[in-house]
Amino acid sequence: MDLKQRFTEQWRSLSVRQRKYAEIAGQVLIFVAGFLLVSNFQARNLLAADRQEAPQLQGQLLQGPEYDLSHTAADSTLVYFFAPWCAVCNASSDNITRLRKLRDPHKLQIVMVAVAWDSEADVRAFATRNNINVPIVLGNPKIIQDWKISGFPSYYVLDGQRQVVSKDFGYSTQLGLWWRTWI
């Protein structure tokens, strides 16, 4: 008996309810596999998450003095790149705000980097509209090039030695961000 015949016999031996659950499980598996494939494809041009040292990140903060990633003392850092006009960035900004409330700042530093912005007023409006409670660096073309940012939102998780341990592109849930930053 070949594999196809064995599968057909086993399928027929299942109850209607078991077949339904098997079909749902198969559809979920296909969805998850597709989602992972698309995510990996989108993030393919970002820096490798192979514990390489992160590029320099220095720049003027939206509010406050200049920011320098090399002065970070946290156990890990989430560097989140966004554009003020980006709808996905606006939708995911709540997840950043909630993550800040969940994680101790000494354990996880979160910094957002505004890129592809027209004016400081646009970045300020984004921060106000979304109740941002983390530092926002006003990015520039050099930062975009150094960090290999080609779309928004893009983000990296760095360990305490500022090495890239995780990367992603696009919307991430609060749970997804929490999971990725728990290094």
Q: Which domain holds residue 73?
A: 58-180
User: For residue 182, what pLDDT is reported?
Assistant: 81
Q: For residue 70, with 0-12 CB atoms within 10 Å meaning exposed, 13-18 middle and 19 or more buried, which class applies?
A: exposed
Check residue 34 and give its pLDDT: 74
Q: In whole numbers, what is the pLDDT of the chain averaged over residues?
A: 90
pLDDT, average across residues 43-68 = 90
Question: Residue 154 contacts by C-beta under 8 Å, 6 or more apart in sequence?
Answer: 43, 46, 80, 81, 147, 167, 168, 169
The β-bridge relationship of strands 164-169 and 154-159 is antiparallel
**pLDDT tens column, 152-179:** 999 999 999 999 999 998 898 888 898 8
Q: Are residues 21 and 81 in the same domain?
A: no
Domain membership flag for residue 65: yes
Q: Kindly state whether residues 69 and 25 are assigned to the same domain.
A: no
Backbone angles phi, psi at 164, to 5 degrees: -75, 120
Q: What is the pTM of this model?
A: 0.80
Distance (Å, whole) CA 1 – CA 29:
28
pLDDT band at 23 (very low <50, low <70, confident <90, very high): confident
pLDDT (tens digit, 9 = 90+) per residue, 106-141? Answer: 999 999 999 999 999 999 999 999 999 999 999 999
pLDDT band at 1 (very low <50, low <70, confident <90, very high): low
The verdict on 13 and 76 lying in the same domain is: no
> Which of 87, 82, 89 has the alpha carbon at shortest distance from 115?
82
- For residue 41, what pLDDT is reported? 67
Number of domains, the chain: 2
H or E segment to which residue 34 belongs: helix 16-42
